[in-house]
Amino acid sequence: MIVEWSEAALAEIATRYGPEARIWKLVSDSEGCGCAMNGVAALWLIEEPEQGDLQAESNVVEVWYEKRHEVFFDERMRVSYDPSKRAFKLASDGQIYSNRLRLEDRRATAAY
């Protein structure tokens, strides 16, 4: 799997989460969505990957994912940022996963 980040997306994650926001986990999150099989694409900011997570090729930041979620995503995807909508977008050549991609800080040190 390959996940490419646009310069605008990288700048925005640094602004929102700080320059140390370097490890992300791509998930198909079905928690709270009322769907058993279909989840919503999300990126979680994590401190470190879990045992068994796989690393995607990515520019600048690390992107990890669980093998069981691999089926929900294309081999090559892009994360971009639209400042007019203040929204991240996850897309591939074949589809748009989300025009309002949810980024969630899951680090233990995250301020609540």
pLDDT digits (tens, 9 = 90+) for 43-60: 999 999 999 999 999 999
54-110 pLDDT tens trace: 999 999 999 999 999 999 999 999 999 999 999 999 999 999 999 999 999 999 875
Mean pLDDT estimate for the chain: 90
Give the Cα separation of 28 and 17 in Å (integer).
21
Is the distance from CB of 61 to CB of 28 less than 8 angstroms?
Answer: no
Tokens linked to 22: 């370097």
pLDDT over threshold 90, residue 111? no
Residue 52 has a pLDDT of 95
Q: What's 13's DSSP letter?
A: H
Residue 108 has a pLDDT of 84
Which pTM was predicted?
0.87
